Chain A
Amino acid sequence: QVQLQESGPGLVKPSQTLSLTCTVSGGSMSSGDYYWSWIRQPPGKGLEWIGHIYYTGSSFYNPSLKSRLSISVDTSKNQFSLKVSSVTAADTAVYYCARVVAHYDILTGHQHYDMDVWGQGTTVTVSS
């Protein structure tokens, strides 16, 4: 059973860089079937997709955050990481990591994308 666990500082000062790591256990990240995602949820608000990375290091970002984002992967440690630069109070949120399974069903001829496993989330507050 694959599990994901976020870790990192719970408090970041404005204008600094937020850094989080997601550790994957119970399975390997180095499979072509998976994308590894970051999602966040500001207090009392909805979910926002931040970006995702493939095990090769190919990454895709939410256009509204792209200029401040960096997502990286370390398959030797079974971890992927998020950096958000120049943070403000608006970046205060619960940050989740999640796995997306991408697979092609040869029996039905259908492609599937399934965000199936999530971490518990970690709260990050931006404040001086």
Chain B
Amino acid sequence: QTVVTQEPSLTVSPGGTVTLTCASTTGAVTSGYYPNWFQQKPGQAPRALIYSTSNKHSWTPDRFSGSLLGGQAALTLSGVQPEDEAEYYCLLYLAGAQLWVFGGGTKLTVL
């Protein structure tokens, strides 16, 4: 069974840059996993940020970008703002089995 892992927590200073990663226990994450990224703030539903590795929604701030790095999916925040403090989840799609698997989430602290 595929397990998706993320850093449990990261801290970044306002204005800084941070990269969150998303790895699969079954091997390298490729574009064929169609990585999605979500932001969730306390008491709120998750909000979609990135789909299919690097595609942004109309509401996704420009400072968020998605990519593949070293066999992992990655979400980079450049010029971090205090309002970016949140939990971030990645989601991978196993298209052959039509299954989705969430990562455990990364708690991002802006300090």
Contacts and interface: CB of A to CB of B under 8 A. Distances in A.
A37 B45 contact: no
Given A46-B89, A49-B102, A113 B34 contact: yes
Interface residues of A, number: 24
B19 interface: no
Greatest chain B CB density within 10 A among A47, A63, A111, A114 is at A47
B45 A112 contact: no
Interface residues of B, number: 27
A110 B53 CA distance: 11
Interface string A103-128: 00000001111111111110000000
A56 to B, nearest CB: 13
Interface string B44-68: 0111100110010100000000000
B91 interface: yes
Q: Is the interface of A mostly helix, strand, loop or mixed?
A: strand
B105 A118 contact: no
A74 interface: no
Given A47-B105, A115-B91, A116-B48, A37 B100 contact: yes
B45 A114 contact: no
A119 B46 contact: no
B98 interface: yes
B1 interface: yes
10 contacts: A46-B102, A46-B104, A47-B38, A47-B40, A47-B89, A47-B91, A52-B98, A113-B34, A115-B100, A117-B48
| Closest A-B pairs by Cβ, 6 of them | A114-B51, A49-B100, A60-B98, A113-B34, A112-B52, A47-B102
Interface of A: 37, 39, 46-49, 52, 60, 62-64, 96, 110-121
